[in-house]
Structure 1
């Protein structure tokens, strides 16, 4: 799925939907993909998730760039407009995995940046 999709659109769903959403966000955070993660926020379904992200950012558990992984819209037309304008923005302070490509060679140079700042 990762290699065949141009974007990931999440509709309101169950725990499996949330698990897939977090997995794809983690992969984007690790620079495994740069594809937009779209939330179709029907009847404000994802408001709690957005509030969770905002609180985690406010309390310095995640960087403010983490929220940029997501595109959130209430209508399909609004979501499609935001998708058209999407440009990936990588967080320079995240851990970048070195992964082999199809021919077995490394697809990325080694870049390991780890923020070990303790926030109290």
Structure 2
């Protein structure tokens, strides 16, 4: 399962989840966790057919309200009731810079050129 998710991560601009089974929920949670850990910065779209994801969204809101997860976690998700609406929302999305994450530049020693590779340093205080 994780090999397939990793392959999608390497080739996708965003992830769209349709109503599904436990494997779908597992992939959704894995990708949300990886985004939280800054492994990727891709949006997660939820196609909320017949309000399928309402319970998941309520769970997110509850977890944020009880400080189980940060409120920024909700920004990972875009939810819509139709495929066209979801695709329009994904295309119109403009990422907001995270004020708690800084970009560092470090020389790339592998090819002795002046190019550099960017790394992120997360300075968020977690108690």
Are 1:75 and 2:49 matched, yes or no? no
CA contact under 8 A between 1:31 and 1:90: conserved in structure 2?
A: no
Aligned-partner SS, 2:78:
strand
TM-score by length of 2: 0.74
| Structure 2 residue aligned with 1:48 | 55
Are 1:31 and 2:41 matched, yes or no? no
- Tell me the matched-pair count: 108
1:51–1:15 CA distance, 2 compared to 1 (3 A): same
What are the ranges of 5 or more consecutive residues in structure 2 without an aligned counterpart? Answer: 1-7, 102-109, 111-115
CA contact under 8 A between 1:35 and 1:88: conserved in structure 2?
A: no
Relative to total residues, which structure has the larger helix share, 1 or 2? 2
Q: Give the CA deviation at 1:107.
A: 5.2
1:64–1:47 CA distance, 2 compared to 1 (3 A): same
TM-score by length of 1: 0.78
Match of 2:71 among 55, 64, 67: 64
User: What CA deviation, in whole Å up to 9, does each residue of 1:54-100 have, x standing for no partner?
Assistant: 00111111111100000000011110110111123454557xxxxxx
1:90–1:13 CA distance, 2 compared to 1 (3 A): farther
For the residues of structure 2 that align with 1:110 and 1:71, how far apart are their CA atoms? Answer: 24
My pick for the range that moved more, 26-35 or 6-15, is: 26-35
Q: Give the CA deviation at 1:110.
A: 5.9
For the residues of structure 2 that align with 1:63 and 1:90, how far apart are their CA atoms? Answer: 16
CA contact under 8 A between 1:39 and 1:70: conserved in structure 2?
A: yes
